[in-house]
Amino acid sequence: MNSKALLEMKGITKEFPGVKALKGVDFSLEAGEIHALLGENGAGKSTLMKVLSGVYQKDAGSIELDGQAVEIADPRHAQALGIGIIHQELNLVPELTVMENIFLGRELVMTLGFIEWKSMWKQAQEILTRLGSGIAPDAIVSELSIGEQQMVEIAKALSYETKILIMDEPTAALTGRETEHLFSIIRQLAAAGVGIVYISHRMEELFALSNRITVMRDGAYIGTVKTIETTFDQLVKMMVGREMTVRFPKETAPIGSEVLTVENLVRKGVLHNISFSVRAGEVVGVAGLMGAGRTEMARAIFGADPIDGGTITVAGKKATISSPADAIRAGIGLITEDRKHQGLVLSLSVGENITMAALDKVSTYTFVSGTDEQKLISQQIDSLKIRTPGAEQLVKNLSGGNQQKVVIAKWLATNPKVLIMDEPTRGVDVGAKAEIYQIMNMLTASGVGILMISSELPEILGMSDRVLVMHQGKLMADMPVDGANQEKIMAYAAGGE
Ligand SMILES: Nc1ncnc2c1ncn2[C@@H]1O[C@H](COP(=O)(O)OP(=O)(O)OP(=O)(O)O)[C@@H](O)[C@H]1O
Ligand SMILES: [Mg+2]
C-alpha cells in the first residue's frame, strides 16, 4: 500500500429536504486497498459514494485525490478523474443491447463505424468473459435475468480506466459462483493498484474481501477498523449502536389448513408440473440456484405470466387467475425481487405506494383499528420502521433497504391470505432484516401463509417450516426444515437426488 492516500474525504456534509444524510463524514482509500463501507439502511453509504462520483454535490467538506484538492462537478468529471461506480439500483437501458449499455454515452458510440463496432464488440466480449459470464454482447438487456443485468453493470464499470472503483451492493443479485468470480476480479484489480470501495450488507463478504471497514450510522462517521482486527459482533454494535442477539428470530405459529394449493402448474419450457401447498401460519422456503424457475413460479401463481396448465386454490376456493388483479382479489400478495421495476413506483410518494395495491381494501385492513387511509399509512411506516421524513416523501429518495420495506407495507395493506416473498431481505441490513423476520412472525401468527423465495440458505433454514428446492423448473424436494441442511439443499438444487 502507498503511504499517500489515493483518496481523502473529510467532513463531508449533505442535506436533503428534511434529511441530514451526511453529517461530517471522513473516508480514506489507499491504492490497492479494498475498503468496505458498512451501515444500516439509510445510514448514508450510497449518498457518500454519490458525492464522490459526482451524482450529488456536497454541502461542505473536502475531497483530495492523490493529495490534490478536487471539486467533482458531475458524473462525467468523476469518470475523467478515474472514479467508477456501480450503483445499487440497476441503471441500464432495458431496450438496448449489452454492448450498447456498456459503451453508452461515450464518443465511440456517436461515430460508430464498422471498425469501432468490431473493437467495441471485442472489448465487450473480453470483459464479459473475464467476468466468467456467457452473456452475449448483442443480447437485449431486458431479456436478461437480474443477476445477468448486474453483471452488465459491472462490465460497464470495468470498461473504464478506473483508479477508484465503487461497488454499491454488487452481489445482491448474484449467485454464489458469480460472486466468487467477482471477488477474484476485485482482488485482481486491487493487486493492480485500483482502490475499491465495497458496500454490502453481507458481513461474510466484508470479512472475505476487505482490508478495512468504515462504519456509518445515521449519516455520521462511527469509525474505521482493520478487518483482521475486528469481529462480527463489534461491527454490528458499531452499526446499530446496540447488541443484536438472534439472527433468525423464528417463532413457530399454529399451522392451519391449506391457504395455497398449487397442482400441476405448467408453463411450457419454464415450469414442469409443480405441485405443493402452503398452510396457514406456515413459512415455506423455496431454495434453488438462479435460473431454477423460482421467480417464474411466483409470477405464474400471481397471474403475471400466462400458464399452460394447472390449478391454484386459495383457502379452499379454486381461483381463476389470469392477471395480478385476480390474484390480489383471491388473497395472494407478491413481494418481487426487482423492486425498481415491479414493486414500486419510484416517482410516487411513500404513502401512495403503500395504498396502491390495497385498492378498496383499506377498509378491511385488520392490522389497524381505524379505516382511515392516512392512519394506515403512518401505522405501516411506524411498525415497519420505514426511515422517511414523512408519507409525502418520494420513494426514489429513500435508501434501498427502506424501499424494500415500502414494498412489504404495500402488500400488507392488501391483507393477503398467502404472501409470496421473493428475496425479501435482499440488500437489507442486519437490523432491518430482523425487523422483516418479525413481520413474517406477526403475519404467520395471524394465519397468513408465506412462500419465501431466498438465495440465502441460512435464511431458508432459519425462517422456514418447510423447504422446497427447485432445479430447472422442476420441484426436486419438499421437506420439513428439521431434516434439511445446506448440503442436502445444494444437492437437490444442483439437480441431484
Ligand atoms: N435524493 C434524495 N432526496 C432526499 N433524501 C435522500 C435522497 N437520497 C438519499 N436520501 C436520504 O438520505 C439518507 C441516506 O440514504 P442512503 O441512500 O445514502 O442510505 P444507504 O446507507 O445507502 O442505505 P441502504 O443500505 O438502504 O442502501 C436516507 O434517509 C435517504 O432517505
Ligand atoms: Mg444504499
Is 249 inside any structural domain? no
Is 366 inside any structural domain? yes
* CA atoms within a 13 Å half-sphere pointing along the CA-CB vector of 250: 19
Q: What angle do CA 408, 410, 414 make, to 5 degrees?
A: 110
Tell me the CA–centroid distance for residue 401 and ligand 1, in Å.
9
Tell me the CA–centroid distance for residue 392 and ligand 1, in Å.
15
Please give all residues whose CB falls under 5 A of ion ligand 2, grouped by chain where several chains appear.
46, 88, 400
Q: Coil, strand or helix: which one is 370?
A: coil
Cβ atoms within 10 Å, residue 318: 11
In DSSP terms, which residues pair with 312 in a beta bridge? 262, 319
Assess whether 22 and 157 both reside in one domain. yes
Assess whether 229 and 287 both reside in one domain. no
Please count the structural domains in the chain.
Answer: 2
Helix (H) or strand (E) holding 129: helix 114-130
Which residue puts its alpha carbon closest to atom 9 of ligand 1? 397
Assess whether 458 and 319 both reside in one domain. yes
Find the largest Cα–Cα distance for the chain.
69
Is 183 inside any structural domain? yes
Is 49 inside any structural domain? yes
Name the residue of 13, 16, 40 to mutate for ligand 1: max ligand atoms within 8 A of Cβ: 16
Which grid cell sits at 96?
A: 438496448
Domain CATH number, residue 287: 3.40.50.300
Judged by its nearest atom, the ligand closest to the C-alpha of residue 49 is 1
Tell me the CA–centroid distance for residue 425 and ligand 1, in Å.
17
Assess whether 236 and 113 both reside in one domain. yes
Tell me the CA–centroid distance for residue 124 and ligand 1, in Å.
32
Q: Which residues line ligand 1 (CB under 6 A)?
A: 16, 19, 21, 39, 41-47, 88, 387, 397-402, 429
Q: Which atom of ligand 1 is nearest to the CA of 404?
A: 26
Q: In whole angstroms, what is the distance from residue 441 CA to residue 282 CA? A: 10
Tell me the CA–centroid distance for residue 17 and ligand 1, in Å.
12
Is 2 inside any structural domain? no
Which residue puts its alpha carbon closest to atom 29 of ligand 1? 42
Taking 50 as the pLDDT cut, the residues of the chain under it are 1-2, 109-110, 360-370
Is 251 inside any structural domain? no
Tell me the CA–centroid distance for residue 50 and ligand 2, in Å.
10
Is 476 inside any structural domain? yes
Assess whether 179 and 321 both reside in one domain. no
Assess whether 319 and 234 both reside in one domain. no
* CA atoms within a 13 Å half-sphere pointing along the CA-CB vector of 221: 18
Assess whether 203 and 266 both reside in one domain. no
Name the residue of 57, 222, 398, 399 to mutate for ligand 1: max ligand atoms within 8 A of Cβ: 399
Assess whether 263 and 236 both reside in one domain. no
Q: Which atom of ligand 1 is nearest to the CA of 399?
A: 17
Which residue puts its alpha carbon closest to atom 31 of ligand 1? 398
Q: In whole angstroms, what is the distance from residue 228 CA to residue 231 CA? A: 8
Q: In whole angstroms, what is the distance from residue 493 CA to residue 497 CA? A: 9
Assess whether 358 and 406 both reside in one domain. yes
Assess whether 77 and 200 both reside in one domain. yes
Assess whether 192 and 316 both reside in one domain. no
Can you give the pLDDT at residue 182?
83
Tell me the CA–centroid distance for residue 398 and ligand 1, in Å.
5
Q: Which atom of ligand 1 is nearest to the CA of 43?
A: 21
Q: Which atom of ligand 1 is nearest to the CA of 387?
A: 29
Q: Which domain holds residue 468?
A: 258-493
Can you give the pLDDT at residue 318?
95
Assess whether 270 and 371 both reside in one domain. yes
Q: Quick check: 339 and 404 in contact, CB under 8 A? A: yes
Is 289 inside any structural domain? yes
